[in-house]
Amino acid sequence: MLVLEQPFVETEKEVIASKPNTTGAEAVILSLLAENVDTIFGYPGGAIMPIYDALYDYLDKVKHILTRHEQGAIHAAQGYARVRRKAGVCFATSGPGATNLITGIADAMVDSTPLVCITGQVTEGLLGTDAFQETDVVGISMPITKWNYQVTKAEEIPQAIAKAFYIAESGRPGPVLLDITKNAQFEGCDFKYQKCRRIRSYLPKRALVPEKIAEAAELINSCKKPLVLAGHGILIAKAQEVFQEFIEKSGLPVASTLLGLSAMSVEHPNYVGYLGMHGNYGPNVKTNEADLLIAVGMRFDDRVTGGLDTYAPDAKVIHIEIDPSEINKNVKATVPIIGDAKEALEALLPHVNERKYDEWLAEFAECDRLEDEKVVQKALAPTTEKIKMVEVIKMLSDKTEGKAVIVTDVGQHQMIATRYYKFAETESNVTSGGLGTMGFALPAAIGAKIGVPHRDVIAVAGDGGFQMTLQELGTIMQNDIPVKIIVLNNHFLGMVRQWQELFFDRRYSFTDIESPDFVTLASAYGVKGIQVTDRDKLESGLTQMLESKESFLLEVIVEKEENVFPMVPSGASVSDIRLE
């Protein structure tokens, strides 16, 4: 949570938009237009009604997507933000409308997703009286926003929104929330919009320290068993191109975090796999054999490190990270480089030597061979009449050539999708990482498709998570959004069931779940779909889905007790990764 020295400090004199004698509500819309907002996701209600009334006059300039729940609105804004790398915008009313945004705000905060959330609030005179639909959303959201502020005067609105976009998008991105009282929306004001480019006491990006760049280059040029940990920060900084140049010049092997997937093609010869609890065998095991870790835009999450007391015991650590609070938080950095990932890589590039690590890369290749033998081939081999989730994702990857935007929900299917989909293009992986929010996929896919309408966007969900936000099929119906949906139905809350099997003696306590007929339900929303139960119908089902010009739901009935391996048990060393 960013705490400003003063709520507003005038820093920019250039007025880029103005209109005299307007209302606070119209000032909101004009401010968003000045920030080049083209899409708003939201749900109206009493306390935000004046803003919606003002929006009515500007529908030729900005699109509004009416979702079926405020959680759907904020996840859609997240999906949009993740593929566009700009702030997603959502509206909600006061009270329950505002509190329904909280899960998405928390999700965006931990995954560094820029959002501008605007909520209506009761009139200033009723604040603190427990008025109808009054909730202290500023207090509630304080720990999970980068900045929040309550606007009580119309004249504050333009500057508040300018600050909101600057804070949300600068430095390490994140969600901001503006709570605007109803009287501020009705009040008159002279609208003047000034783009915010600086705030006193807020330093979103630090200048690089040349000595640290030199120290890092020296370590890189002298190491024997290095490993690059590619994180979400590479994508946020739009550093994919320079990152690949850096890798190809230095010869360093690269492993990706969950959110770092699609920062570079998984087919690149230096790419050695995916880190984490259900990641690839090689990068997990070899982390503890490395003599140097180069972490770029990642935060050493527990799902990557496993037990910290046994993590990378022989490795020096170069940590490139824009957020100073992440430095030394979990893993001590030998050389901390605080700054933008793109700028840091550009600074490092001239100083690293051209090298090759053939023997070291061969060790990763041997790990791949072992994982392929013990995990991949077994996972792909039909063992029963039931289709496996792995088969679906592998076939999907082949048919799309790894070029679709894959939006995953949370659970076994998420880990299988991120393991077996061969991301060939950048900005192709949208998922809930740090918070692990079930119900994320469908609304986030809606936002992603609106953000990149020229790309295939495919939501992959389990039967449990899909039912948390399936009402957003109504959003697809009303707005004619051609999202493709795959529901992998194993009649279980699969990831919890896997843990119950492995660590709780198969005591399946409330993880078996019954579902409606998803295809019939989708048809009620005007979404075409089919159910596939037989392996020999899977390919034609996927083809039908992919060739559809409209939204389409493909439900695949899959093996009930399929497990995801490899797996690092919670709290264990990454060296203790299990292949079976």
**Same domain (yes/no): 309, 344:** yes
**Same domain (yes/no): 239, 352:** yes
Contact 39, 89 (CB under 8 A): yes
Question: Catalytic site residue 495?
Answer: yes
DSSP state of 570: T
**13-16-19 Cα angle (round to 5):** 110
Residue 97 has φ and ψ, to the nearest 5°, of -60, -45
- Whether 284 maps to a domain, the answer reads yes
Question: Catalytic site residue 545?
Answer: no
Domain finish residue from 168, 199, 230: 199
Q: How many CA atoms lie within 13 A of 446 on its CB side?
A: 33
- Closest CA relative to residue 257, chosen from 284, 225, 237: 284
Buried-state track 399-410, b at ≥16 Cβ within 10 A, e below 16? ebebebbbbbbb
> How many domains does the structure of the chain reveal?
3
Distances (CA, A) of 89 to 25, 513, 522: 16, 34, 27
Task: Give the integer Cα–Cα distance in Å for 139 and 484.
Answer: 38
Hey, what's the torsion of the CAs at 212, 202, 435, 288, to 10 degrees?
10
Catalytic residue among 1, 19, 63, 132: 132
Distances (CA, A) of 254 to 271, 287, 299, 364, 455: 5, 11, 16, 11, 27
**Same domain (yes/no): 339, 239:** yes
Contact 527, 476 (CB under 8 A): yes
Task: Give the integer Cα–Cα distance in Å for 217 and 123.
Answer: 57
- Whether 377 maps to a domain, the answer reads no
Tokens of 225: 């068993």
- Closest CA relative to residue 433, chosen from 302, 294, 295, 315: 302
Amino acid 4: pLDDT: 46
Contact 253, 226 (CB under 8 A): yes
Contact 107, 440 (CB under 8 A): yes
Amino acid 246: pLDDT: 98
pLDDT in tens, the chain (580 residues): 544 434 444 444 578 888 999 999 999 999 999 999 999 999 999 999 999 999 999 999 999 999 999 999 999 999 999 999 999 999 999 999 999 999 999 999 999 999 999 999 999 999 999 999 999 999 999 999 999 999 999 999 999 999 999 999 999 999 999 999 999 999 999 999 999 999 998 999 999 999 999 999 999 999 999 999 999 999 999 999 999 999 999 999 999 999 999 999 999 999 999 999 999 999 999 999 999 999 999 999 999 999 999 999 999 999 999 999 999 999 999 999 999 999 999 999 999 999 999 999 999 999 999 999 999 998 888 888 899 999 999 999 999 999 999 999 999 999 999 999 999 999 999 999 999 999 999 999 999 999 999 999 999 999 999 999 999 999 999 999 999 999 999 999 989 999 899 999 999 999 999 999 999 999 999 999 999 999 999 999 999 999 999 999 999 999 999 999 999 998 899 989 999 8
Residue 264 burial by Cβ neighbours in a 10 Å radius (0-12, 13-18, 19+): buried
**Same domain (yes/no): 47, 124:** yes
**Same domain (yes/no): 188, 224:** no
Determine the straight-line distance between the first and last CA of the chain, rounded to whole angstroms: 42
Task: Give the integer Cα–Cα distance in Å for 27 and 14.
Answer: 17
**Same domain (yes/no): 43, 162:** yes
CATH number at residue 553: 3.40.50.970
Amino acid 48: pLDDT: 98
- Whether 518 maps to a domain, the answer reads yes
Q: At what angle do helices 70-84 and 102-110 cross, to 10 degrees?
A: 20
Amino acid 217: pLDDT: 97
**Same domain (yes/no): 41, 83:** yes
Contact 161, 31 (CB under 8 A): yes
The string of DSSP letters for 288-349 reads TT-SEEEEES----HHHHBSGGGSSTT-EEEEEES-GGGTTTSS--SEEEES-HHHHHHHHG
- Whether 571 maps to a domain, the answer reads no
Tokens of 2: 């960013």
- Whether 31 maps to a domain, the answer reads yes
Three-state secondary structure call for residue 86 = coil
CATH number at residue 330: 3.40.50.1220
Residue 111 has φ and ψ, to the nearest 5°, of -100, 10
Catalytic residue among 35, 70, 187, 472: 70
- Whether 566 maps to a domain, the answer reads no
- Closest CA relative to residue 393, chosen from 568, 237, 564: 564
Catalytic residue among 389, 495, 545, 567: 495
**Same domain (yes/no): 291, 415:** no
- Whether 369 maps to a domain, the answer reads no
- Closest CA relative to residue 67, chosen from 78, 56, 53, 54: 78
Q: Given the DSSP bridges, would you call strands 15-23 and 188-194 parallel, antiparallel or unpaired? A: antiparallel
**Same domain (yes/no): 194, 121:** yes
Three-state secondary structure call for residue 555 = strand
Contact 259, 429 (CB under 8 A): yes
Question: Catalytic site residue 133?
Answer: yes
- The residue range of the domain holding 329 is 210-363
Residue 353 has φ and ψ, to the nearest 5°, of -80, 155
**Same domain (yes/no): 153, 296:** no
- Whether 576 maps to a domain, the answer reads no
**Same domain (yes/no): 409, 528:** yes
Q: What pTM value is reported for the model?
A: 0.95
Catalytic residue among 12, 133, 192, 329: 133
Hey, what's the torsion of the CAs at 484, 490, 491, 496, to 10 degrees?
-100
Question: Catalytic site residue 182?
Answer: yes
Contact 561, 269 (CB under 8 A): no
The residues, any chain, with a CB within 8 Å of residue 217's CB and separated by 6 or more, are 348, 351, 352
**Same domain (yes/no): 508, 532:** yes
Distances (CA, A) of 422 to 262, 396, 406, 496: 9, 10, 11, 26
Domain finish residue from 167, 199, 231: 199
Domain finish residue from 138, 164, 199: 199
| CB atoms inside a 10 Å sphere around CB 384 | 11
Catalytic residue among 146, 182, 388, 449: 182
Residue 489 has φ and ψ, to the nearest 5°, of -100, 105
Question: Catalytic site residue 132?
Answer: yes
Amino acid 15: pLDDT: 80
